[in-house]
Amino acid sequence: MIAHDPSDLDLNDRRNWRTRTSAHVVMDGTHIQIDAAPEFRLQCVHNNIRRVDYFILTHGHADHVQGMDDLRRFIDMRGGEALPVYGTDEGLLRVQQIYPYAIRLRPEFKGYPAFNLLPMPEVLDLPCGRIWSTLLPHGRLQVLGLVFEERSSGKRLAYYTDCKLLTPHALELAHDLDVLVLDALRPDEHPTHMSLPEAKAAAAGIGARQTFFTHMTYMIDHARDSAELAPGTAFAYDGLRITV
């Protein structure tokens, strides 16, 4: 085990100022939000997120679910129609436990959230494209791994966060990827997340045209550790926008 000092992190580099992980995918004009970190409202403000059509919860851990109340503004913009929320049984149960007032087809009062909870299918077929899902091991939980394919362009993105390894099914889905987003918690091994060396090996095996590592701790310094990455791989950072 390697000891790391938080003072090693260059805080003059804004890419090292990390909020908890959320992602926003736009396919043919449809806006799909993945997870809602505790900082979700600020993430929306800072990144000009003005619309959410569908919400996918990868799992019910606090750093992915605790910003969901702030979806209320997007539901208000839908005329009070409940937002479709897809997830695993575990994730949807956690939403029910935390937000019982929001489990309804319309808000109780104007400005309140309303969630229409739906089990994530193996393939979610939408007018904008398809989203494949697969289960990935994350300690005692299984979390959703997601592969997006835009209907008009055929562009493909895989989002595999909070996982210890990639299953054969996840690898099978991750063919011909334009973008891979992959869990890479820290340099040292971790019991429920991929370490950076494990993520590098997985990325090399998949061979996406571009790979971004996410969900990093303070143990990873953006500039210093980027120098050790293979071509076509990079660390994600708050505010990163990718167009494919």
**Tens digit of each residue's pLDDT (9 = 90 or more) over 24-78:** 999 999 999 999 999 999 999 999 999 999 999 999 999 999 999 999 999 999 9
DSSP string, 5-22: -GGGS-TTSGGG------
pLDDT at 8 (0 to 100): 80
pLDDT at 40 (0 to 100): 98
Confidence bin at 7 (pLDDT 50/70/90)? low
pLDDT at 6 (0 to 100): 67
Radius of gyration of the chain (CA): 18
**Tens digit of each residue's pLDDT (9 = 90 or more) over 186-237:** 999 999 999 999 999 999 999 999 999 999 999 999 999 999 999 999 999 9
**Tens digit of each residue's pLDDT (9 = 90 or more) over 148-171:** 999 999 999 999 999 999 999 999
Confidence bin at 104 (pLDDT 50/70/90)? very high
Q: What angle do CA 22, 213, 56 make, to 5 degrees?
A: 30
pLDDT at 1 (0 to 100): 38
**Tens digit of each residue's pLDDT (9 = 90 or more) over 130-152:** 999 999 999 999 999 999 999 99
Q: What is the pTM of this model?
A: 0.96
123, burial (CB in 10 Å: exposed 0-12, middle 13-18, buried 19+): exposed
Q: Reading across the β-sheet that carries 123-126, which strands appear in turn?
A: 123-126, 129-138, 141-150, 156-160, 179-183, 210-214, 233-235
Domains of the chain: 9-235 (3.60.15.10)
Confidence bin at 2 (pLDDT 50/70/90)? very low
